[in-house]
Structure 1
Amino acid sequence: MKLLNLGKKIKEKTFKNYIIENKNSFYRIAYKYVRNEQDALDIVQESILKGLSKIDKLENVDCIKPWFYTILINTSIDYTRKSKKYTQIVEKISTDTYIDRDIETDIDIQMALDNLPKEYKTVVMLRYFEDMKISDIAKTLDENINTVKTRLYKALKLLKIEIDE
């Protein structure tokens, strides 16, 4: 019995450290879905609670990244489905934050990304905003690697069409 408790404690400690080290990434993902600071924080908090309650299901602590991103993305999608407040609004952009970037291009990209179907948007966000490998995205979404590659290719094609218009 002590061995099982020790394993759970190790998982919990690893999970807590992972959350602390990557909290900004989690917030960015949630924010991309809801476009609201408070709602994004709520999603991250709810995801952490879900993760802690399901820590026993994590078989290998080396797989914590795709495991938690799955929880975070599913929580974000559920929140957007259930939320009456959710509307797609282009965020207020501070010129101080984007000194080296073309603001109009950022707005166009964000609007185009918001217009993508959820499965395409998620793949693009994980690949390019979170710098995840295709194999990790496949684990996170519980999809075949070729499916992820196809969705990514299709999403980029749709984004190009959207931005060119």
Structure 2
Amino acid sequence: MTKKEKFELVEKFILENREAHYRLAYSYVRNKENALDIVQESILKALKSIDRLEEIAYMKTWFYRIIVNTSIDFVRKHQRITVMDDDILCVHLPQLEDEIIDMDLQDAIDQLPPRYKTLIILRFFEDLKIDEIAAVTGENINTVKTRLYKALKELRIEIGEAFKL
């Protein structure tokens, strides 16, 4: 397959799946503009490294890996700069009363370490199979299963027993 043909297939794939790519990036940063920046940067990285894509059958996992890594890099780089809306700010300010703050699933997922967060997002939000997740993360299947189990266990602890597996 020529480079031009490969380029055209990647371009078609990116255009056909742009909503999923945006959703994946958004799940890391929870900000529209940042998610769009991540997708744009991921596309640029993919087009620059198109020669590394040896099998077209692995295009989805190849591109998801680029998005995940770009998202994690973005979060690490912008870790200190966090824009909070009033609702989030109120949660972090001292409470006048002893109030129990309800934590939703997305907040609990955001509390997970990046390697666990990636697994939860890819498995349950992007509906990837375990072997696809292994390809995206570069881990073996048993490692993915073990970490996914640990991530779910941490989520259960974070949310409380109301969250049943």
Shared fold (TM-score, shorter chain, > 0.5): yes
1:80 equivalent in alignment to 2:75: yes
1:133 equivalent in structure 2: 129
1:25 equivalent in alignment to 2:20: yes
3-state SS of paired residue (1:112): helix
Give the TM-score taking structure 1 as reference length: 0.83
Distance 1:163 1:34 in 2: 21
3-state SS of paired residue (1:47): helix
In structure 1, list runs of 5 or more residues that go unmatched.
1-5, 92-103
Could you say if the C-alpha distance between residues 71 and 52 of structure 1 is closer, same or farther in structure 2, counting changes exceeding 3 Å? same
Which range moves more in the overlay, 79-88 or 61-70? 79-88
Aligned residues: CA RMSD: 2.1
1:56 equivalent in structure 2: 51
Could you say if the C-alpha distance between residues 15 and 37 of structure 1 is closer, same or farther in structure 2, counting changes exceeding 3 Å? same
1:15/1:64 contact within 8 Å kept: yes
| 1:119-160 deviation per Cα after TM superposition (whole angstroms, max 9, x unaligned) | 000001000100101001101110011010011111111111
3-state SS of paired residue (1:59): coil
* 1:111-122 matched pairs, under 5 angstroms: 111-122=107-118
Alpha-carbon offset, residue 9 of structure 1: 1.1
Q: 1:110 aligns with which of 106, 110, 113?
A: 106
In structure 2, list runs of 5 or more residues that go unmatched.
89-100
Could you say if the C-alpha distance between residues 29 and 88 of structure 1 is closer, same or farther in structure 2, counting changes exceeding 3 Å? farther
Q: 1:12 aligns with which of 4, 7, 25?
A: 7
Distance 2:32 2:23 in 1: 10
Alpha-carbon offset, residue 87 of structure 1: 5.5
Could you say if the C-alpha distance between residues 87 and 135 of structure 1 is closer, same or farther in structure 2, counting changes exceeding 3 Å? farther
3-state SS of paired residue (1:131): coil
Give the TM-score taking structure 2 as reference length: 0.83
Q: 2:153 aligns with which of 146, 157, 162?
A: 157
Q: Please identify runs of 4+ aligned residues in structure 1 that moved more than 6 A.
A: 88-91
Q: Residue 134 of structure 1 aligns to which amino acid in structure 2?
A: I
Alpha-carbon offset, residue 88 of structure 1: 7.2
1:34/1:86 contact within 8 Å kept: no
